[in-house]
Amino acid sequence: MTYGIIGVGAIASAIVAGTSEGVESPPTILLSPRNASLAGELASRYHNVRVCSSNQEVIDGASTLILSLRPQDAPPVLRTLRFSADQFIISVMAGISIETLRPIVAPATSIARCIPLPSVAHRDGVTVILPPGGAAKALFDPLGGTIELENQETFDAFSAATATVAAHFEYLGTTSRWLAARGVAPDDAVRYVASVFIGLTPALRSGESFDRLAQDHTTPGGINELFAGHMRAHGVYALVDEGLDRVAKKISG
């Protein structure tokens, strides 16, 4: 198997790392020359990775193509390229439907959309794929597993859910700044808040529902109950629903 990646950014780098780091027989990976410094760094780190002289060289040498361009750049770049009927196309680009891609990558017909997370670099990220099976499942199953979908609407809902990451870090930042305002050294505040949530990783891996985990970390009359109740009473969790609805509306166009 030879993978070709058009557009080398953070997610493409994570895919390269996950498929290459510590793997006894990693696949050959061809990278586009755009973002030359990052592509060159990956090629110097992994013996199975090579930077090509052009996007067309990537396409000509790969059986499976991973499209990882910025959405606004994708149509004009891809329309200049020639694809083959027997190639598999995996798009990790936000906001570009399979229907939009189909005429651009013709005569290739096997097209999948995916939402890989940065943690695929450590083979620890669950990737949503549409449609089920195929080259996308073969790529991402070893990188942490897949959730296979049949329809675009559900795919868009998963895509909307990824919009909560920055807000989560802001929440942690607010907590660490609250500590710093009370005399804690800012670096210690960040380390402590990070350690609190890193320590919850085993609980997240347990498969328990989030409601159950919340109950498990709540003592009746305790401080977790007090804080969660304050957030609930002031509609914070309802705002999460509203925010996700706004994101989903934007994604659906």
Mean pLDDT rounded to a whole number for the chain:
96
Average pLDDT over residues 136-164: 97
Q: According to the model, what pLDDT value does residue 1 have?
A: 85
Cα–Cα distance for residue pair 67/112, rounded to 1 Å: 10
State yes or no: pLDDT of 186 exceeds 80. yes
Q: Give per-residue pLDDT as tens, 59-104.
A: 999 999 999 999 999 999 999 999 999 999 999 999 899 999 999 9
Residue type at 88 in one-letter notation: F
**What confidence tier does 50 reach under pLDDT thresholds 50, 70, 90?**
very high
- For the chain, which domains are there? 2-149 (3.40.50.720), 163-252 (1.10.3730.10)
Cα–Cα distance for residue pair 17/143, rounded to 1 Å: 10
**What confidence tier does 139 reach under pLDDT thresholds 50, 70, 90?**
very high
Q: Give per-residue pLDDT as tens, 16-30.
A: 999 999 999 999 999
